[in-house]
Amino acid sequence: MSAYEADIKKSQLKRVLGKWSLTAIGIGAIIGGGIFVLTGTGAYYNAGPALALSFVIAGIACVFAALCYAEFASILPVEGSAYAYAYGTVGEIFAWIIGWGLILEYAMGSMTVAVSWSGYFSKLLKMFGLHLPTWLTTDPQTYWASGNEGFSMNLPAFLIVLFVISILVRGTKGAAKANNFIVMLKVSAIIFVIVAGAFFIDPVNWTPFIPEPTTITENGVSHSAYGLAGVVAGASAIFFAYVGFDAVSTQAGEAINPKKDVPFAIIASLIICTLLYILVSLVLTGMMHYTDFNPLGKYPDAIKAPVAYAFDIAGQAWAGYIITIAATVGLISVLMVMIMGQSRIFLGMSKDGLIPATFAKVNPETGVPTKNLIILGIVISIVASLTPINDLAHMTSFGTLFAFTMVCVAVWVLRVKEPNLQRNFKVPALPVIACLGIAINVYLIINLSKEAQMYSLAWLAIGFIIYFLYSKKHSKLQNGGYGETFKAEQEPLEKPDLDL
C-alpha cells in the first residue's frame, strides 16, 4: 500500500475543507437525493405511511457501512471514495468491482435527481402561469402508459444535466461558498416542512400505518407492495438517499485533516439526515395520502415533487411555492456533487489504467477533467430524459448497496491482512459490525425490484467482461506501476475549481 499511497500524495489538490465543510457536502447530497426525490416513490410503490420505518431500516444499514468507510478514510485519506480505498488496500480486482458499482450508483443517482428536478421545475413554471406540454416532461414509458401516443421525453431533466456540466467544465471558484449557502437553504426548507407541515397532518392518512399487502401494476409490470415486506422493499428503494456520506469520501483529497475530518463528516451527516428523513416522511404521509403519489393518478407530477405537492393538496399553495423554489435550487447542488463525485471515480480508475486515458485528462486552464465530464453529461442527460424515476431509483440503490457491502468486506479483510496499520478511527467489534453490514445490505438488495436486480446484475457481468478483456491488460499495477505514466504525461493535477 505504501507505494500507492505515496503516488496519491503527489497530487497537488489543495486541502481547504474542514470537518464542517465536509459535513455540509454530505448533508447537501443526502438531503436533496432523499427528501425531495424519494419520499413519493417510496410511499406509493413500497411502504405507504410506514415509509418512516423504511428510513429507519436504511439508516441502520448505513451505520454499519459508514463506520467501515470511516476506518478506510482514516487509513487512506484520498479522493476516489471506496474505489480508491480498495485499490490501495485489498487489491485491484476488489477495487474494480467496487468502482463499477459506484459508476452505477452515481450515474443513476444523477439521473434520478435530474428527473426529480424536472418535476419541481415544472411546478415552478406553473407558479408563473407557464405550462410545458406533457410530452416534453414525461419519459416515453410513463407517457404511453397514460394512453398517449407519439414522441415524448423529459426535456427539463435533459437540459439541467447539460447546464450543470457547462458549469463544471468551466470551473466555478465560488462554488464552495455557494454550496454551503444552498445547504443552509435546504436545511431551513426541511425544518420549515417539518414545523409547518405538522399543523396540516391528518391522522386518517396514517391509517393503516402499514397498509395491507397488494400488487401494483404499471407499464405492464406488476410488483408486490406494502405490508412488512413493503417496508423492507421501501428501505431498499430509498437507500441511495444516503449516498451523500459516500460523496464526502470523494472529497478527501481536499480535506485539511482527512484522517479525522472525513470520518467525522461521514458519521455526522448520516445521523443528522436520518433524523430529518424520519420526521419529513412522517409529516409528508400525514399531509397527503400515499395513494395520491400515483404517477397515473390525479396528481401525476406529485411523485416527482412530493413535498411541494403535499402542501398544495393541503391548501397551502404559498408553502408549496417556498418548497418548490428551495428544491429547484437545492437539487442543482446535489446534481453537481454527484456528477463531480462520478468524475473523480472515473479519474482515479483512468489513472490506474482500468478505463481509457481520456477520462484522466485534466484541462490545465480550468483544473477539471473536461472530456470526462462531457461524456458523463451526454450519457446521463439522455438516459434521464427517457427513463421512469422509479427504475432509476432502484438501480441507484443497487449500486449503493453493492458498494457498501464491498466496503464492509474490504475493511474486514484489511484488518486481518494489515493489523498493524495506523488507524485514527477503528470500527468497534469489527467482525460483528462487518457481518451485520454485509447481511443487511445483501438482504436489501434481494428486496429490490426484480427488474432492478436483473439490470444491475447484467451491469456487473458487463463489468467483469470489460475488466478481463481491457482493464487487466492496460492496468498500471499489472505493468509495474501506480499511475506513473499518467503523471509523466500530465501536468500535476490542480485542485478543481469546484471546491465543494
pLDDT tens column, 332-380: 878 887 888 788 788 878 888 888 888 878 777 777 778 888 998 999 9
Q: Which helix (H) or strand (E) holds 102?
A: helix 92-127
Q: How far apart are CA 222 and CA 249, in angstroms?
A: 37
pLDDT band at 435 (very low <50, low <70, confident <90, very high): very high
Q: Which residue has the cell 404499471?
A: 218
Q: Which residue has the higher pLDDT, 424 or 81?
A: 424
231: Cβ contacts below 8 Å, ≥ 6 apart: 46, 47, 50, 53, 54, 57, 210
pLDDT band at 466 (very low <50, low <70, confident <90, very high): very high
Displacement of CA 20 from its chain's centroid (Å): 20
Kindly list the distances between the CA atom of residue 476 and the CA atoms of 161, 371, 464, in Å, as whole numbers in the listed order.
32, 21, 18
Least confident range from 46-50, 227-231, 375-379, 418-422: namely: 418-422
Class of domain 15-489: mainly alpha
Show me where the domains of the chain are located.
Answer: 15-489
Q: Which residue has the higher pLDDT, 209 or 6?
A: 209
Q: How far apart are CA 235 and CA 52, in angstroms?
A: 9
Kindly list the distances between the CA atom of residue 349 and the CA atoms of 307, 360, 452, in Å, as whole numbers in the listed order.
38, 8, 25
- Do the beta carbons of residue 369 and residue 169 sit within 8 Å? no
Q: Which helix (H) or strand (E) holds 217?
A: strand 214-218
Least confident range from 68-72, 256-260, 450-454: namely: 256-260
